[in-house]
Amino acid sequence: MSEELLKVLKAAGLDVLSCMHCGTCTGSCPSGRHTGLNTRRIIRDARKNRATVLSDDALWLCTTCYTCQERCPRGIPITDALLELRRLAVRKGFMLPEHRRVSEMVLECGHAVPLDEETKKKREELGLDPIPETVQKYQEALEGLKILLKTCKFDELVAEK
Amino acid sequence: MAKLSLFLGCIVPNRYPGIEKATKLCLQKLEVDASDLPGASCCPAPGVFKSFDKATWLALASRNIALSEKMERDVLTVCNGCYGSLADANIELKKDPEMKACTNTCLKEIGMEFKGTAEVRHIIEFLYREFGPEKLKGCITTPLDLKVALHYGCHLIKPSKDRNLGETEAPVFFDELVEATGAKSVDYTDKMMCCGAGGGVRSGHAAESLEMLEHKLACIRNAGVDCIVNACPFCHLQFDKGQLAVNEKFGTDYSIPVLHYSQLLGLALGFSPDELGIEQNAVQNIEFLAKIYEISAGLR
């Protein structure tokens, strides 16, 4: 069996092996009360190097509220580990279409939520400049940001595979 | 007091400019030196970009911080997400020279450098630490006779190891700032629960996100408050626009007004609701608007 999951977590300084399966994480999870997210199971699957955890949609039901991490009696950085697993999942090509769209927004205009006409009007009503003092106003800054994203190969990472 | 640059992020300037205006008015009134931060981008949003690629997350966050370093100013955020992203990236890069060098290799491509000379602040912890509830109370000209359901949000206080804002199960510092305005912070069930928007859940799993929100709204309604107060435009958007989506999905009739703390403080500092963009919210509660106009006109 590949040791990939544990290796990746260990390399990031995230030790999940001390988990004693008490279930405090799952019991504390605001998402798990309403959704199929079972945090303890994700940690267990990661410990067992089960690659299926990466394709499991439940990985994307965590709101990253950090309650499990704060309450873990063993002090396991659970949310940080879950984020590490997400990054591995993305490298393997598992990404929701909505999240690709958010990524494309940043690649295009430097914002996950770009300015729209309705907000421009609202800004003017408030006496604010319709275009805020962000990268949206400065073409040169936007070009720089695009170069930075390309340097990180973010466009390749989030492109449909 | 350190000089600041106001980091806007995405949702404030691009969806809720009232929060931008309210923040600027409050900072001016409190004589805080806070400039714009021209050319800043998405923080980038921690729930998604930190979930996708660490190098990209650090590169974009460090670029934003570096812009402020150049101005010799600390970064001031008005959003828990931006705070989580920028403060955590700042800490990681300052304590890990290898990661800093790696990030700077990327920044060099655009002639920039992350030095590690600036702090990242959140307006709530800034006001609490630099002013404190008592001093703030002394600045209030229009005490607010309002009952408030306060929503701390997650990333203002968590992960707690790097925040130094005390414990996370029942914090009080933000309640104290709310009460400094004259308002009453009312306790309610699951007050510390997440709004359900973070971690890419609102964008990726809208239905589940609304289920969490509906639970939170039910708890807040039971508490019988005038409005919800938050410190995060993403929570703000979830509570405000999300409320209409919840009504549609669950057949409910929630109409709970939502204010960012800057807007609440703005009212207490004597600014009118329309100056603060409160009427631009999706939730239109006429009774509440009438009440705050009466308060700001000194009729209550």
Q: What is the mean pLDDT of residues B2-11?
A: 97
pLDDT band at A1 (very low <50, low <70, confident <90, very high): very low
Which pLDDT belongs to residue A2?
Answer: 63
B82 to each of B79, B101, B299, how far by Cα in Å? 5, 23, 38
A134 to each of A47, A68, B38, B84, B110, how far by Cα in Å? 43, 35, 5, 19, 17
Q: Which of B14, B106, B215 sits opposite A34 (nearest CB)?
A: B215
Asked if residue A155 has pLDDT above 90, the reply is: yes
Which pLDDT belongs to residue B144?
Answer: 97
In chain B, the percentage of residues whose pLDDT exceeds 70 is 100
Q: What is the mean pLDDT of residues B58-71?
A: 98
In this prediction the pTM is 0.97
Enumerate residues 225 to 264 of chain B having a beta carbon within 8 A of any beta carbon in chain A: none
CB contact under 8 A, B205 and A65: no
For residue range A28-79, what is the model confidence (pLDDT) as tens digits? Answer: 999 999 999 999 999 999 999 999 999 999 999 999 999 999 999 999 999 9
Q: Does B127 touch chain A (CB under 8 A)?
A: no
For residue range A116-147, what is the model confidence (pLDDT) as tens digits? Answer: 999 999 999 999 999 999 999 999 999 999 99
Instruction: Please choose, from the candidates A44, A47, A41, the residue with its C-alpha nearest in 3D space to the C-alpha of residue A8.
Output: A47
Q: Name which residue leads in pLDDT, A111 or A1.
A: A111
| Chain centroid to CA B184 | 20
For residue B74, the SS3 value is: strand
Task: Find the residue in A nearest to B107 (Cα).
Answer: A148
- Domains by residue range for chain B, with CATH: 4-122 (1.20.1050.140), 132-296 (3.40.50.11810)
CB atoms closer than 10 angstroms to residue A139: 9
Tokens of A84: 């590490």
CB contact under 8 A, A128 and B109: no
ipTM, 2 dp:
0.96
* Distance between CA atoms of residues B138 and B181, nearest Å: 10
Q: Does B171 touch chain A (CB under 8 A)?
A: no
Q: What is the mean pLDDT of residues B85-105?
A: 97
Give B134 to chain A, closest Cα distance, Å.
30
For residue range A82-113, what is the model confidence (pLDDT) as tens digits? Answer: 999 999 999 999 999 999 999 999 999 999 99
Q: What is the mean pLDDT of residues B131-156?
A: 97
Give chain B's mean pLDDT: 97
Instruction: Please choose, from the candidates B77, B78, B90, the residue with its C-alpha nearest in 3D space to the C-alpha of residue B117.
Output: B90
pLDDT band at B14 (very low <50, low <70, confident <90, very high): very high
Task: Find the residue in A nearest to B207 (Cα).
Answer: A35
Backbone phi and psi for residue B117, each to the nearest 5 degrees, phi listed first:
-105, -5
Enumerate residues 136 to 155 of chain B having a beta carbon within 8 A of any beta carbon in chain A: 154-155
Q: What is the mean pLDDT of residues B70-93?
A: 98
pLDDT band at A160 (very low <50, low <70, confident <90, very high): confident
* Contact predicate B40/A135, CB 8 Å: yes
Q: Name which residue leads in pLDDT, B162 or B39.
A: B39
Asked if residue A20 has pLDDT above 90, the reply is: yes
What are the beta bridge partners of residue B5? B35, B75
Q: Which residue has the tokens 């107060």?
A: B229
- Domains by residue range for chain A, with CATH: 4-91 (1.10.1060.10), 97-158 (no CATH)
B56 to each of A87, A94, A154, A155, A157, how far by Cα in Å? 11, 17, 7, 10, 10
Chain B interface, best mutation among A126, A128, A153, by max B CB count within 10 A: A126
Asked if residue B207 has pLDDT above 90, the reply is: yes
